[in-house]
């Protein structure tokens, strides 16, 4: 008899066990022991086989990390004030949030954190510092406007969880390992050829160190994602309200929004924040809004990409945060503990396989690299035909770049769409785009508050999404951010562009229309023309070499 396993149920049971508070310290210590075990092994091997004074570099790296760790809160404070215009004023928070933070800190034997406020309509919240007693929590105006009181508490509790679990300390210690690994790689591969040491051994050790550098980076990313689950778990424990945390994740993480908090602020004069901007207070007709919550149908539609698209798993491996769908599942699994209905159950049936789409995207993504490697390889093997190989290889390289550009910047199909409609599309990636037209209001910067960030956040009547402002030279982006971007704030705009995910949903701007004026933002035609010229050059080289 075959036993059918419910993998989703097993996953949630394991996730619940992993997220029990008592296991966090053990997981962290075990991970650090593994990382430093790998580091010790490579250091001993290098020292034994080469006699190099590797420990000098190790000591220097440790000193740099320790100095950075000690000074980082003040350096980051300075950066926040200079580039993000953060105001460290406790009275920017409403009374209920201040009381909540004070209660949690007293219970957890923590000092009250330093609170920073960014006057930007885009939602964001984060924490930094050395330990639980030196934490800074930064929150934006957009977060407080979009979330109701219980959701805002859940977000603050999540950030307090990072401080309570000493996440900053553990991640700083962990990040020392790849730093030293890369230093060992640089030391061994750059040794003088005249040294008495065996160059083949040193080269091998250098490659091992480089491989372990990448391995340790992925271990650290895994540890970071794990600690995000623990921060969620801490928020659930202190608020006793998993549904509010899930709703906050949906609104801020997915970008599905409701007009609940805006209506609340408009209807009441009890706004203790003193930060509600009348310019952004227009009530929205939110189609994803049902019974004071974001529509569960819309949430499921948005989850489809993370659940079904293979790119989502690839991107997660390179991310410090888990996929939101996984976090929502873990949170939903705990709702019954607090007498709440399960927040979300993803029960949509996949109608097709998306493996073929992933393979096509992967081929397009890898082809420029593959053609370049093959060209170099064949030139080494057949140096007498270097010109012909260069011509053919250059043709393949430029042609593959052109195909990649055309796939990610499709020139047709610019249909008007809503944010929630874009979020429900499964066949989209950083390679495969969807041409679209969006109408809405720009509510802030892509990196909330940062005066050097040229991107925007757009809000329509169904949600919010990142707008990517992209010019050929990065210096142009920064000049625009400093001197021009504010002109677009609080403007009703129409955007033509390309929707993609990686896994953050975003639209790369092609054209922006406001006040009856259309401006072309993206220089797609320049890139395309340049690649055509390069392709023609390599065709000529190939013909001449035959």
> Which residue's structure tokens are 């209001």?
441
Residue 534 to residue 546: CA distance in whole angstroms: 19
Q: Can you tell me which residue has the tokens 């330990």?
A: 131
Helix (H) or strand (E) holding 505: strand 505-514
Which of 216, 247, 251, 246 has the alpha carbon at shortest distance from 233?
A: 246
Helix (H, G, I), strand (E, B) or coil at 141: helix
Greatest Cα pair distance, the chain, in angstroms, is 81
Alpha helix ranges (H) inside 51-138: 54-83, 95-107
Residue 458: strand, helix, or coil: strand
Return the closest-CA partner of residue 49 out of 151, 221, 200.
200
- State yes or no: is 508 an active-site residue: no
The pair phi, psi for residue 443, each rounded to 5°, is -110, -5
Contact 422, 505 (CB under 8 A): yes
Strands (E), 108-259: 114-118, 125-128, 136-140
Which residues does 407 contact at the CB level (< 8 Å), separation at least 6?
A: 361, 364, 431, 432, 433
Retrieve residue 189's tokens: 């591969």
Which residue of the set 159, 260, 301, 307 is catalytic? 159
CA distances from 235 to 47, 66, 238, 329, 426 (A): 46, 30, 5, 15, 31
Query: Hey, which residues does 140 pair with through a beta bridge?
Result: 118
Active site residues: 159
């Amino acid at each position: 008899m075959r036993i059918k396993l419910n993998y989703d149920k097993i996953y949630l049971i394991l996730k619940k066990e992993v997220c029990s508070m008592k296991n966090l310290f053990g997981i962290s210590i075990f991970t650090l022991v593994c990382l430093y075990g790998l580091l010790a092994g490579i250091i001993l091997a290098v020292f034994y086989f080469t006699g190099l004074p590797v420990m000098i570099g190790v000591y220097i790296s440790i000193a740099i990390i320790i100095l950075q760790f000690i000074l980082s809160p003040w350096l980051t404070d300075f950066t926040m004030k200079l580039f993000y215009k953060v105001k460290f004023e406790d009275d920017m928070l409403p009374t209920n949030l201040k009381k909540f933070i004070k209660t949690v800190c007293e219970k957890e034997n923590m000092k009250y954190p330093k609170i920073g406020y960014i006057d930007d309509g885009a939602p964001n919240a984060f924490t930094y510092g050395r330990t639980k007693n030196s934490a800074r929590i930064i929150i934006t105006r957009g977060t407080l406007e979009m979330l109701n009181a219980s959701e805002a508490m859940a977000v603050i509790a999540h950030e307090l969880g990072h401080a309570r679990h000493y996440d900053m300390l553990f991640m700083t210690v962990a990040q020392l390992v790849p730093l030293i690994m890369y230093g060992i790689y640089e030391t061994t591969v750059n040794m003088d050829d005249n040294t008495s040491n065996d160059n083949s051994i040193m080269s091998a050790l250098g490659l091992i160190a480089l491989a372990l550098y990448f391995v340790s980076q992925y271990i650290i990313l895994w540890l970071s994602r794990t600690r995000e689950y623990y921060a969620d778990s801490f928020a659930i424990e202190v608020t006793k309200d998993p549904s509010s945390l899930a709703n906050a994740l949906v609104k801020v993480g997915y970008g599905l929004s409701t007009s609940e908090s805006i209506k609340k602020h408009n209807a009441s004069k009890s706004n203790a924040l003193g930060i509600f901007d009348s310019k952004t207070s227009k009530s929205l007709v939110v189609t994803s809004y049902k019974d004071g919550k974001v529509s569960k149908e819309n949430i499921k539609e948005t989850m489809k990409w993370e659940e079904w698209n293979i790119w989502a798993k690839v991107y997660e491996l390179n991310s410090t945060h888990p996929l939101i769908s996984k976090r929502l599942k873990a949170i939903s699994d705990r709702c019954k503990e607090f007498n709440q209905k399960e927040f979300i159950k993803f029960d949509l049936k996949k109608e097709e396989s998306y493996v073929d789409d992933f393979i096509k995207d992967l081929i397009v993504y890898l082809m420029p690299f593959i053609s370049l490697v093959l060209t170099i390889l064949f030139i080494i093997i057949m140096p007498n035909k270097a010109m012909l190989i260069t011509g053919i290889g250059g043709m393949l390289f430029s042609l593959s770049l052109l195909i990649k550009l055309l796939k990610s910047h499709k020139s047709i199909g610019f249909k008007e769409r809503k944010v929630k409609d874009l979020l429900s599309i499964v066949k989209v990636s950083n390679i495969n785009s969807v041409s679209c037209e969006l109408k809405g209001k720009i509510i802030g910067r892509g990196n909330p508050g940062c005066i050097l960030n040229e991107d925007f956040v757009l809000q329509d009547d169904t949600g919010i999404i990142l707008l990517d402002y992209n010019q050929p030279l990065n210096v142009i982006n920064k000049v625009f951010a400093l001197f021009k971007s504010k002109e677009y704030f609080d403007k009703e705009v129409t955007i033509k562009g390309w929707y993609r995910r990686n896994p953050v949903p975003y639209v790369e701007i092609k054209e922006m229309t406001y006040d009856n004026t259309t401006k072309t933002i993206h220089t797609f035609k320049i890139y395309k023309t340049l690649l055509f010229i390069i392709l023609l050059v390599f065709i000529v080289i190939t013909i001449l070499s035959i």
